[in-house]
Amino acid sequence: MEISHVPDDSCPKKFALPVDSEHKATEFRLFSFAAPHMRAFHLSWISFFACFVSTFAAPPLLPIIRDDLDLTATDIGNAGIAAVSGAVFARIAMGTACDLFGPRLASSALTLLTAPAVYCTSISNSPVSFLLVRFFTGFSLATFVSTQFWMSSLFSGRVVGTANGLAGGWGNLGGGATQLIMPLVFDLIHHIGATKFTAWRIAFFIPAFFQTLSAYGIFFLGQDLPDGNYSQLHKSGDKHKDNFSQVFYHAITNYRGWILALTYGYCFGVELTIDNIIAQYFYDRFNVNLHTAGIIAASFGLANLFSRPGGGMLSDFMANRFGMRGRLWTLWIVQTLGGVFCILLGKVGSLGVSVAVMLVFSVFVQAACGLTFGVVPFVSRRSLGIISGMTGGGGNVGAVLTQVIFFRGSRYSTETGITLMGIMILCCALLIALIHFPQWGGMFCGPSSKGTTEEDYYMSEWTSSEKEQGFHKASLKFSENSRSERGREIIRSAPTPTDRTPNMHV
């Protein structure tokens, strides 16, 4: 255990991990639970995992629920859409909440406020009440933003990519784990003696308890910042509160944010859609039992263990050699391949091949999610929070759109819907070609001939009066560090940045 003594006002602070001047950890030790850094990592991915488990607890039990509540295919489709639509705006709002109250309070508050929706799933008795509980439970997916925000506050640029990729990926694991957990819990309760229509209701208490417990864990064991919690910290002049309308304006006028929101809708949105429909698909099309359908569906989400973090690491690796253009090309290739395997998934008719194709598809689509957040941190420095929230929200919009068009009612069979979804992935991925950074280039064009630098790009977000007051200093530092996005061959005479690139996968 390394201990850094950092001179402080009152007493020297001791941290279990090496820290930089902001007390952000410069190392990531996965198996440590030391406060505040690694403890916060584990608390945040576990609570995000719990929220995913709750949001997707219904799909694996749908074959029972649809009989109990007399649901039609349209009802099921609408509930699935409701489950992912709530988080669209919640994710954007969560960024602001983290700014105001800190990620610890914001995420434990949201988790506790959505827990009643999970408890009340047990007492739903109609298609409408089922839709409502799924809608409100889905708000909890906004904890994605607090997870990423918290990691960015506690880990330095050198390791924040790993921290964010793992926290995001392992949280998404919940969508897979729930497909295993819920049928198992249901079976157990059914065996003990409850009828089927009661057993599924009791089963929902498990994710609800888990969510409540994780909120308690975050509140009592977590800490917003290395030096303390928001409410306790004396807010010195260092922490200047930015102008919300300016930050908002610079976020929505940056077209790259909108493109990434749409393309994230067709990797993460697709992942959410599959979480909703895949268990029923295997149960109905291949006549496997509930247990088996759950296991197959789970393996889709469980690939997140390595595929999303892997995507983030791949993005960093490509940027090291080819800069931002490498990130963009890799994102396009991986997402397009995801689309190809999605088309294939809808076409194959035998169980074994279908499972194999689904696994390959899952790796590509989840890696694309990780790759997207390799580009997001560079779109804007001033409005990073809102751009991240927009992209995250865009993921949910994609899930809503896809389910409305292809998986609602009986217009398309599920397999046709899956193939059409794959075609849509291919089309939306093409938009990545339109992303162009004047200082680095895009997929097809090099950097702008005007010789725009990183400073020009990031300073354009500040007015001259703001610069006079010195508010832009953090962005200036970031511009220097982001020079590595030019790629290895191009960095010749540029001075070596003092810090390494803050690869902030948010």
Please give the residue ranges that form the binding site for another protein (CB under 8 A): 63, 66-68, 70, 72-74, 105, 108-109, 112-113, 115-116, 119-120, 122-123, 125, 195-202, 205, 208, 212, 215-216, 219, 229, 231-232, 280, 283-284, 299, 303, 350-353, 355-356, 359, 363, 409-410, 413
Nearer to another protein, 185 or 390 (CB): 185
Cβ contact 174:207 at 8 Å:
no
Nearest to 242 by CA among 26, 438, 471, 467: 471
Residue (240 or 411) nearer to another protein, CB:
411
Query: Which pair of structure tokens corresponds to residue 245?
Result: 């309308």
Which is nearer to another protein, 137 or 380 (by Cβ)? 137
* Cβ atoms 178, 57 nearer than 8 A: yes
Using alpha carbons, select from 211, 71, 201 the residue that is nearest to residue 141.
Answer: 211
Residue 197 Cβ vs another protein, minimum distance, rounded to whole Å: 3
Q: Which is nearer to another protein, 333 or 355 (CB)?
A: 355
Q: How far is the CB of 228 from another protein (least distance, A)?
A: 8
What secondary structure letter does DSSP report for 486?
Answer: G
* Minimum CB distance to another protein smaller for 117 or for 384: 117
d(CA 341, CA 67): 33
- Quote the least distance from Cβ 456 to another protein, whole Å: 42
DSSP classification of residue 6: B
With respect to another protein, which residue has the nearer C-beta, 198 or 452?
A: 198
Do residues 286 and 351 make contact, with C-beta atoms less than 8 angstroms apart?
yes
Smallest gap from Cβ 193 to another protein, in A, equals 12
Smallest separation, CB 136 to another protein (Å) = 11
Please say which residue, 354 or 475, places its beta carbon nearer to another protein.
354
Inter-axis angle of helices 255-265 and 414-429, nearest 10: 160
Q: Are the C-beta atoms of 179 and 298 separated by less than 8 Å? A: yes
Which residue shows structure tokens 């004047």?
438
Residue 437: which H helix or E strand, with range? Answer: strand 436-437
Q: How far is the CB of 98 from another protein (least distance, A)?
A: 15
In terms of C-beta density within 10 A (0-12 exposed, 13-18 middle, 19 or more buried), how is residue 431 classed? Answer: middle
Which residues are paired to 19 by β-bridges? 25
Q: How many CB atoms within 10 Å of residue 3?
A: 12
CB of 66 to another protein, least distance (A): 7
Report in angstroms how near the CB of residue 353 gets to another protein at its nearest.
5
75 vs 454, which CB is nearer to another protein? Answer: 75
